Chains A and B, each alone.
Chain A
Amino acid sequence: MIDIIIINALKKGNQSAYKILYERTIAYVYSIVRRFVDVEHVHKDIIQDVYAKIYININQFDSDKGTFKFWMRRIVINQCFEYFRREKRNAPIVSIDYIGDMAQPEPVDFADVDKDLLLRAIENMPKGYKNVFLLVEVEGYDHSEVSQITGVSEVSSRSQLSRAKSWLRKELNLRTKASKANGFK
């Protein structure tokens, strides 16, 4: 995605490197922002914040600690959650009384699910579930990292994930049945 030459040029403040980095990464950044934040008119603002932070903090990037992609992804996700905090839209966190679900979440096999159906279902997932689900299942963060990013406790994070999977399972069943019914018609 981004090679060390561009990063070094960025560290030296080379102006043309800004553009190169932007053009090579914007699709990836936009896909993450769009996934987390469904309010379209704020995407531009969030993305500007993301790149401003990347450029300002580029000297803090250490290639020995991880790839640039992961470093950048963390900035993008943090910025999305910064937006939630600003808008106070991250409030509907599910209570932790649902420990039963959390203990042994039923596995969901996405292999056989239709791609579009799955994407649409995730898009419609309730906000609190969706964030944790995306962070854990898609971005690969563990619950302690999710806790740092979202500001909820690890227990809540596990609970949210469990509920998200249950919700997704039901939603996929419903949508599959509906699409089959439509197909028969």
Chain B
Amino acid sequence: MDSNNKLRELFEHDKTNVPDFLDWSEMETGIKEKMVIMDSAKGSIKRREWLRRFFFLSLGLLFLIPLTCGPEEADRANNSNVEEQQNLVGLGLTREAYEEKSTIVSSPVSSIPPPVGSTDASQDVINPYQLVLAGTTDYRRESIAPLQVVTELSKDADSRVTRSFASLPSAPSKLLVMIDSDLQRQEYNGPLPIEKNKHRSNMISVFASPGTWNTGWGSNTPINVALEKELWSLGFGLNYTRKIKKGLLLNIGFQYQRMERRLDWNDLIEEYTYVLTDTIIGFEHNNVTSELSSIIGDTTFTVYAERQVTHFNRSEVIQIPIGIGYSRSFGRMRTNVIGGTALGVWKKHKGISLQDGFIEDYSIRPVFNTDVSFSGFIDIGVSYHLSEQISIGTSFMIQKEYSNWSYLDDVSIRPTVFNTKLVVSYSL
């Protein structure tokens, strides 16, 4: 033990002369370069890891959406002729039945030669329905009055159907003409008008968001708090909103947010030197003539001075928000509330700050520790449909950072961002 201590002492006192190539001036650049490399490697690994997680989470959520949509909902979301279908239901037919019958009326049925001695008008009227409905049991689901007729008639089974074919008149019946003209009118006039409160569910929105923010200092605040003031800044982004079911929405997006601050501070300069040019620096008295003449020249003064400095500091973040919300339509108006979380994947800080009397340049060493950050948000908005697909709106969003931005253990910085969004949406 004693022996070991002596060995340690021997090495402790091994004061090797530091060679010249290890002088700070020689090493500074190399060390800083390595810091940048290590920092970026560390940051990119961390960022890649978060992005990977976020990507798979988003992917999982996107896969879940179709599962949560029932087939009927999916049809309604994707089929623009929902109302047309509803009108057809009133006639006891589905759209497919309508199309099928239209074909029957226009081509094969009408081309059948008229039977000899058949004059039963009621049979003429029923025949087309019997032909279609008895042949396809699916139609019974949505038929009401005609179904009863068909049920009675279908007791006769196929033989009667065949007989019905044979008994069709040469000229189309009144009902056939009516249905046929209805179908033709739809073809010419396009789809039936959509009710105002049936807006499409999935939409892509672009927005600009002037907003302000609050740095969110904790209880322990550094010196620069009193000197810095948050400014209104601009953000913009893109959102994709998908209806899950019954007013529930899933929202995913991309958002650029800028946060700006103004730093005003005064500095007392103890020795401020300035030069006065072409000024009177003295007087010359001529003893003979008693004339007093001035001497012009340059002179320097060293004085106390107060310097007023203003810096505009800027932090930038790109975020991927994911949220779930609820929307409700009133005629052309739609309101929605969305809450969720956002991952800040990249941040940049520019400017200067004062930290405990030291001037900190953000570009050299960021004051905020913000490689990756998480925030929660709530967004309340209202929009107006200009047309079936395009709507404009506005929303108010509050976003609060979960992550502590401070490098210092005893200081917490969790900013809150307030945004007023102007949104233009396109329904898919």
| Docked CA distance A52–B364 (Å) | 14
Interface residues of B in 353-377 (CB under 8 A from A): 355-356, 358, 360, 364-365, 367
B46 CB to closest chain A CB (Å) equals 13
| Docked CA distance A59–B38 (Å) | 15
Mark contacts of A117-154 with chain B using CB atoms, 8 A cut-off: 1 yes-contact digit, 0 otherwise.
Answer: 01100000000000000000110100000000000000
| Docked CA distance A68–B112 (Å) | 103
A158 CB to closest chain B CB (Å) equals 15
Complex: chain B residue closest to A133, CB-CB: B7
Contacts of A18 in B (CB 8 A): 28, 31
Contacts of B2 in A (CB 8 A): 111
Main secondary structure of the interface of B (DSSP, over half): helix
| Docked CA distance A18–B15 (Å) | 22
A65 interface hit (Cβ, 8 Å): no
| Docked CA distance A113–B35 (Å) | 43
Q: Do A118 and B10 form a contact, CB below 8 Å, given A31-B16, A49-B34, A53-B38? A: yes
Mark contacts of B334-366 with chain A using CB atoms, 8 A cut-off: 1 yes-contact digit, 0 otherwise.
Answer: 000000000000000000000110101000110
9-residue interface stretch from A80-88, A89-97, A102-110: A102-110
| Docked CA distance A15–B35 (Å) | 13
A185 interface hit (Cβ, 8 Å): no
Please pick, from A11, A34, A49, A53, the residue contacting B16 in the complex, using a CB distance under 8 A: A34
| Docked CA distance A120–B14 (Å) | 13
CB pair A48 B34 closer than 8 Å: yes
| Docked CA distance A140–B11 (Å) | 12
CB pair B360 A13 closer than 8 Å: yes
- Please give 9 more A-B residue pairs, beta carbons under 8 A apart, in addition to A48-B34, A52-B38: A12-B360, A13-B365, A27-B16, A30-B19, A44-B22, A51-B27, A119-B14, A137-B8, A138-B11
| Docked CA distance A59–B406 (Å) | 11
CB pair A12 B355 closer than 8 Å: yes
Q: Which residues of B contact A (CB under 8 A)?
A: 2-4, 6-8, 10-11, 14-16, 18-19, 21-22, 24, 27-28, 30-32, 34-35, 37-39, 42, 355-356, 358, 360, 364-365, 367, 407-409
CB pair A44 B360 closer than 8 Å: no
Q: Do A13 and B8 form a contact, CB below 8 Å, given A44-B22, A55-B35? A: no
Please pick, from A11, A14, A22, A52, the residue contacting B35 in the complex, using a CB distance under 8 A: A52
| Docked CA distance A107–B422 (Å) | 81
Contacts of B355 in A (CB 8 A): 12-13
Complex: chain A residue closest to B15, CB-CB: A27
A6 CB to closest chain B CB (Å) equals 13
| Docked CA distance A52–B27 (Å) | 11
CB pair A56 B35 closer than 8 Å: yes
CB pair B24 A12 closer than 8 Å: no
| Docked CA distance A160–B24 (Å) | 37
Please pick, from B6, B22, B367, B407, the residue contacting A26 in the complex, using a CB distance under 8 A: B22
Mark contacts of A41-75 with chain B using CB atoms, 8 A cut-off: 1 yes-contact digit, 0 otherwise.
Answer: 00110011101110110010000000000000000
